[in-house]
């Protein structure tokens, strides 16, 4: 058996790899007959020898190679460069054509799985191997497909979720399925059998996100560009969508400005909380604390620039992630 699994949705790709392993019999016997290769390091003959070997005290031998197809994809340099390095590159890629014959002659007990995040479908090696393999592509899920995945994941965990909760969860977390799966597990435990609603999502998912946003707002207002950029990239890596982060930063700045104004008017804490529609004490506490630390002029300046960035994104003048990076660089200059 031969599989090619590729695409940026690493979560679904890894789940498919688990399904393949589950279909190969006893896991303990398979573990002792599994070989993993880094595509950047494995040699052709080393891989061919592994593919032709018979399993020991098991029914299958599993060979997993990660990054081979991207390594051997045709490149402009390899195709056009007439230097010694370019010729060596072309020669190395040409040698891998022999893998096609090896795959065709593998014993039935061998299962070869090639894994890559990105592949060049027009590359010679991919075109030669694809007809022999079960090729499965895993693109990122967006929009309706992402929302359906969330519903299915909740059902898989034995729960139910409202449409509003699905929309909020998708908006807050984004398309990173690793993070989504983790948050769904937390929600299923938190709700203990009852349907997950929008308030559950906001309470369970938002605290950690908002804590990062508070720290990012501090860094932006203080002009600490390295810290602000680090927190931005951390949030993006954790799956937060750029529009969501911009919304959260803008909301926090608005709360700072409004809470500072009300505090300067000697309003009571309970009145400030009511007038601003804040439901959680920790959000109000942080807003009041941050408001005391910065001048109204600085807060208003940052808030106006956030609004301009928001307009630029909505008008399609720039993408969200780039807009946030430029905004932080500008505000912290």
Instruction: Identify whether 155 is part of a domain.
Output: no
Average pLDDT for residues 121-129, to the nearest whole number? 84
Domain encompassing residue 97: 2-137
Average pLDDT for residues 145-158, to the nearest whole number? 94
The tally of domains found in the chain comes to: 2
> Looking at the predicted structure, is the pLDDT value of residue 78 above 70?
no
Instruction: Tell me the CA distances in angstroms from 53 to 23, 48, 59, 239, 317, one per residue in order.
Output: 20, 9, 12, 41, 56
> What integer pLDDT is reported at residue 85 of this predicted model?
37
Instruction: Identify whether 113 is part of a domain.
Output: yes
Residues 130 and 214 in one domain: no
Give the burial class of 6: count Cβ atoms within 10 A of its Cβ; 0-12 exposed, 13-18 middle, 19 or more buried.
buried
Least confident of 93-97, 130-134, 258-262, 270-274: 93-97
CATH number at residue 118: 3.40.50.300
Instruction: Tell me the CA distances in angstroms from 167 to 9, 144, 158, 215, 217, one per residue in order.
Output: 20, 10, 19, 26, 25
DSSP 8-class letter at 131: G
**Strand ranges, E, within the chain:** 2-6, 34-38, 61-66, 110-116, 134-137
DSSP 8-class letter at 113: E
Average pLDDT for residues 138-166, to the nearest whole number? 92
What's the rounded Cα separation, in Å, for the pair 228 and 221?
A: 9
> What integer pLDDT is reported at residue 239 of this predicted model?
65
pLDDT tens-digit series, residues 281-312: 777 777 788 778 778 888 888 888 888 887 77
Last residue of a domain, one of 137, 163, 186: 137
> Looking at the predicted structure, is the pLDDT value of residue 89 above 60?
no
Instruction: Identify whether 157 is part of a domain.
Output: no
Average pLDDT for residues 70-97, to the nearest whole number? 51
Instruction: Identify whether 160 is part of a domain.
Output: no
Instruction: Identify whether 270 is part of a domain.
Output: yes
Instruction: Identify whether 88 is part of a domain.
Output: yes
Instruction: Identify whether 151 is part of a domain.
Output: no
CATH number at residue 287: 1.20.272.10
**Strand ranges, E, within 9-84:** 34-38, 61-66
pLDDT tens-digit series, residues 3-29: 999 998 888 998 999 999 888 888 888
Instruction: Identify whether 131 is part of a domain.
Output: yes
115/97: higher pLDDT: 115
Residues 128 and 244 in one domain: no
Please give the backbone phi and psi of residue 73, each rounded to the nearest 5 degrees, phi first: -65, 145
Q: How confident is the model at residue 71 (pLDDT cuts 50, 70, 90)?
A: confident
């Amino acid at each position: 058996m031969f599989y090619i699994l590729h695409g940026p949705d690493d979560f679904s790709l890894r789940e498919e790899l688990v399904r393949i392993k589950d279909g190969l019999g006893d896991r303990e016997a398979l573990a002792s007959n599994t070989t993993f290769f880094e595509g950047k390091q494995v040699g052709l003959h080393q891989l061919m020898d592994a593919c032709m070997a018979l399993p020991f005290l098991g029914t299958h031998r599993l060979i997993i190679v990660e990054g081979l197809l991207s390594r051997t994809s045709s490149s402009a340099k390899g195709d056009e460069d007439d230097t010694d390095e370019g010729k060596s590159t072309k020669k190395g890629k040409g040698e891998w054509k022999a893998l096609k014959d090896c795959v065709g002659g593998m014993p039935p007990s061998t299962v070869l799985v090639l894994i890559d995040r990105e592949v060049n479908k027009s590359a010679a090696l991919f075109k030669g191997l694809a007809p022999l393999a079960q090729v499965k592509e895993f693109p990122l899920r967006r929009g309706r497909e992402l929302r359906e995945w969330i519903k299915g994941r909740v059902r898989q965990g034995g729960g139910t979720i409202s449409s509003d909760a699905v929309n909020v969860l998708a908006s807050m977390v984004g398309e990173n399925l690793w993070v989504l799966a983790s948050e769904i597990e937390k929600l299923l435990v938190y709700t203990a059998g009852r349907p997950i609603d929008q308030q559950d999502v906001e309470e369970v998912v938002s605290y950690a996100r908002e804590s990062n946003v508070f720290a990012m707002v501090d860094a932006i207002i203080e002009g600490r560009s390295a810290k602000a950029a680090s927190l931005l990239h951390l949030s993006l890596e954790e799956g937060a969508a750029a529009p969501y982060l911009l919304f959260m930063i803008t909301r926090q700045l608005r709360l700072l400005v409004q809470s500072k104004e009300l505090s300067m008017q000697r309003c009571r804490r309970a009145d400030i909380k009511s007038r601003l529609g804040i439901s959680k004490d920790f959000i109000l506490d942080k807003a009041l604390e941050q408001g005391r630390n910065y001048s109204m002029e600085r807060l208003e300046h940052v808030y106006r620039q956030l609004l301009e960035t928001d307009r630029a994104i909505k008008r399609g003048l720039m993408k969200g992630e780039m807009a946030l990076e430029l905004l932080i660089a500008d505000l912290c200059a």
